[in-house]
């Protein structure tokens, strides 16, 4: 039987479900939240609800967006015929960090992983193929992470793209395999983009 109120336990349990938050950190965060001024706690809860309500997927690239079409797809200075495929929105942030990229994106929202029960149908691969089939794309840069699942996903998509008249390339990672796009420094990302190879 806990010596703390059940509402505290509930809050702590919810926090413990967040990625990277263990039991102890969850309790520490819960103590912090209950010590917040009411207005701050309310603003915090409202921010969660607001983000959930307003953020959706861009109708074109499936990145997170507050409008029907995201700010990248909507930018006339970006080349819509050059599409960089990333596994998640963190990949978009990583590529944007290089400041060298002038194309647009396609966000898969995951990678193929039989172990985790993620199949191609769970990803936004069909939506990518629709963009390509519509003749809207000249080059697809496969920028999934250079780990086993990222490679499997890149190979799967490359096979689907083969019948289409589209150039398919893969980032030239100057990174050991098994690493993640997210943690690559800006210079490495720039080199990876510039040195991309036919796939």
Report the interface residues with Zn ion, using CB under 5 A. 58, 60-61, 63, 70, 73
- Nearest approach, Cβ of 23 to Zn ion (angstroms)? 38
Distances (CA, A) of 55 to 50, 51, 59, 63, 123: 8, 6, 12, 10, 18
- For Zn ion, give the closer residue by CB, 60 or 184: 60
Please count the residues of the chain: 199
- For Zn ion, give the closer residue by CB, 73 or 192: 73
Q: What share of the chain is helix, strand, coil (3-state, %, to 5)?
A: 45, 15, 40
- Nearest approach, Cβ of 158 to Zn ion (angstroms)? 22
Contact between residue 122 and residue 88 where contact means Cβ atoms under 8 Å apart: no
Pairing of strands 197-198, 167-170: antiparallel
- For Zn ion, give the closer residue by CB, 42 or 130: 130
- Nearest approach, Cβ of 72 to Zn ion (angstroms)? 5
- Nearest approach, Cβ of 55 to Zn ion (angstroms)? 13
- For Zn ion, give the closer residue by CB, 73 or 111: 73
Tokens at 64, concatenated: 């997170």
């Amino acid at each position: 039987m806990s010596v703390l109120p059940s509402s505290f336990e509930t809050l702590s349990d919810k926090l413990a479900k967040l990625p990277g938050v263990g039991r102890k950190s969850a309790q520490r965060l819960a103590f912090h939240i209950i010590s917040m001024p009411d207005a701050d706690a309310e603003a915090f809860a409202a921010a969660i609800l607001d983000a959930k309500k307003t953020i959706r997927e861009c109708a074109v690239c499936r990145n997170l967006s507050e409008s029907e079409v995201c700010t990248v797809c909507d930018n006339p200075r970006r080349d819509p015929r050059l599409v960089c495929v990333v596994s998640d929105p963190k990949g978009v942030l990583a590529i944007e960090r290089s400041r060298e990229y002038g194309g647009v994106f396609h966000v898969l929202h995951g990678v193929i992983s039989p172990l985790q029960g993620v199949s191609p149908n769970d990803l936004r691969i069909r939506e990518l193929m629709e963009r390509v089939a519509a003749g809207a794309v000249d080059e697809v840069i496969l920028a999934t992470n250079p780990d086993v699942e990222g490679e499997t996903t890149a190979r799967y998509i490359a096979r689907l793209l083969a019948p289409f008249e589209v150039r398919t390339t893969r980032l030239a990672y100057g990174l050991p395999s098994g690493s993640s796009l997210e943690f690559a420094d800006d210079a490495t990302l720039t080199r990876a983009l510039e040195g991309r190879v036919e796939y």
